Amino acid sequence: MAILAHQRNGQGEPLVVMHGLFGSADNWRGLARRWSDEYGVWSLDLRNHGRSFHCEGMNYTSQAEDLLYWLDNENLERVHLLGHSMGGKLAMEFALRYPSRVAKLIVADIAPVRYEHTHAAIIQGLKALKAQEPWHERREADHLLAEYVKDVQTRLFLLTNLVRTDEGLCLRVAIEEIARDYQAIIDAPPAMTENRVFEGATLAIRGGRSDYVTEGHLPEFRRAFPQLQLETLDAGHWLHAEQADAFSEAVLRFLKQA
């Protein structure tokens, strides 16, 4: 079985961090360095992302098995688990299926529910980039992507997936595999349908200007995670980037609670 790629910072109690859709461990370098003063921080590249392996299937049960295999390979028996967006759904799936392996759970701006299809333009744009690689200039790739994705900040984030190879700039995210099983990504974590419960300490951090975690989502959240604590930051969906200081402090406060 293939092993997830990761980056490691610091020593101490292990904190495992998981990115969202189209992200990578690279997105968490700044926060990982902050937390590494007190924790051993392991930032993962999930399947079909970053430096990790490409394979069929994006369902959370399979991704939870990836994580379990990685933990066993690294001899990490029990960890604090943090996930943003898609990574947050994976964190919830894992905590519900393997509760003995999770000390504390932190979920960033995502709820354990099904969402609507909102990434069609991004998927089309990334497929267009893939079809014309290798690229020699990042600005040329950005010009093409702008035909599909108008928001500049979103494009800058997506273009972090263009990496230098011997041939030129190539897309490292496995867009075909992701597109093929996109429905599994927007679905609720499968363990939610099995009425599983994680009794451990759980923190949900949401963006006050994001609609990913609404008041209507909270009853379902609390059903599966009865020890849920909720923090709201003045931010959108990318709260860990927009409010890095506040996000970092919220995580540390929670981890240090008795």
Is 24 among the catalytic positions?
no
Could you give the maximum distance between any two Cα atoms of the chain, in Å? 53
Catalytic residue, chosen from 19, 84, 237, 240, is 237
Please identify which residue in the block is written with the tokens 């997506």.
158
HEC profile of 113-128: CCCCCCCHHHHHHHHH
pTM of the model as a whole: 0.96
Is 210 among the catalytic positions?
no
Q: Whole-angstrom Cα distance, residue 245 to residue 106?
A: 16
pLDDT block averages, 10 residues each, the chain of length 258: 94 97 96 97 98 97 98 98 98 98 98 94 97 94 96 94 94 97 97 96 97 96 98 96 97 95
Could you tell me which of 101, 7, 78 has the C-alpha nearest to residue 49? 7
Q: Whole-angstrom Cα distance, residue 138 to residue 155?
A: 11
- Per-residue model confidence (pLDDT) at position 258: 81
What are the chain's domains?
5-114+187-256 (3.40.50.1820), 120-180 (no CATH)
Catalytic residue, chosen from 24, 85, 210, 240, is 85
